[in-house]
Copies of this chain bind each other. A is one copy, B any other.
Amino acid sequence: MESSTTPGGSTRREATRQKLYEAAVTLIAEQGFSATTVDEIAERAGVAKGTVYYNFASKSVLFEELLRHGVGLLTASLREAAERTARDGGSKVDALDAMVRAGLVFIDRYPSFTQLYVAELWRTNRAWQSTLMVVRQEAVAVVEGVLREGVDNGEFSDEIDVPLTAAALVGMVLVAALDWQAFQPERSLDDVHAALSRLLQGRVSGHR
């Protein structure tokens, strides 16, 4: 008795679900959702096919829950970075910079998830489209919040377009990080962070 109903408990079920998430995320990142078979996922997770269906209603439900899970981790990490900077009395630029770093750390730790997220984000006509929209907005909203505070603050020009700039910043970090992973994995995180900071603070074309 007890066990399966307990939320947050570390049951056997939770462990297999975790294994399935991990197997699915790498396979789908590599091959895409449709090209990945449930048999492959089960095999990679070291579990029978039936177990997948015991734990998830369908292949796409598995995927949707995976998305929610992953973006949840990302937003938490971004929010934490912003709050930490605020607590330490940093400026909004510092907060943005801390969030860039948090983004890089996340991508470094979960490269497959990021890959998969980017690949699916702009697809239309897919079952999980609405899930993805909601979840995307959560992440971008954290950045928008900091930008808006900076504008109210006087720290940022009030001419900036908050939603668009937030999206562009997220995109910058996402794409730079994926390129880093894919094409120059030997570089260090600090290195990549430094390059993006410079770009962010206008030290590329701003003065000098």
Query: Could you write out 5 A-B pairs with CB less than 8 Å apart?
Result: A157-B203, A167-B183, A168-B195, A171-B178, A202-B204
Flag if A199 contacts B168 (CB, 8 Å).
yes
Report if A35 contacts B (CB, 8 A): yes
Report if A160 contacts B (CB, 8 A): yes
Chain B residues lying within 8 Å of A123, measured Cβ to Cβ, are: 29-32, 115, 119
**Contact partner, A34, options B29, B32, B183, B204, Cβ 8 Å:** B32
Residues of A in contact with B (beta carbons under 8 Å apart): 29-35, 92-93, 96, 115, 118-126, 133, 150, 154-157, 159-161, 163-165, 167-176, 178-184, 187, 191-192, 194-196, 198-208
Chain B residues lying within 8 Å of A206, measured Cβ to Cβ, are: 201-203, 206-207
- When C-beta atoms are compared, the residue in chain B nearest to A168 turns out to be B176
Flag if B32 contacts A157 (CB, 8 Å).
no
Chain B residues lying within 8 Å of A125, measured Cβ to Cβ, are: 30-31
| Additional A-B contact list (11), CB under 8 Å, known A122-B181, A167-B176 | A133-B183, A155-B205, A156-B204, A164-B187, A164-B192, A168-B172, A168-B195, A202-B203, A202-B205, A202-B206, A203-B206
Flag if B176 contacts A175 (CB, 8 Å).
no
Name the distance in Å between A117's Cβ and chain B's nearest Cβ.
Answer: 11
Instruction: Give bound CA distance, A180 to B174, whole Å.
Output: 16
Flag if A115 contacts B122 (CB, 8 Å).
yes
Name the distance in Å between A95's Cβ and chain B's nearest Cβ.
Answer: 11
Name the distance in Å between A65's Cβ and chain B's nearest Cβ.
Answer: 20
Chain B residues lying within 8 Å of A92, measured Cβ to Cβ, are: 205
| Most chain B CB within a 10 A radius of its CB, from A34, A175, A207 | A175
**Contact partner, A33, options B35, B124, B159, B201, Cβ 8 Å:** B35
Instruction: Give bound CA distance, A33 to B33, whole Å.
Output: 10
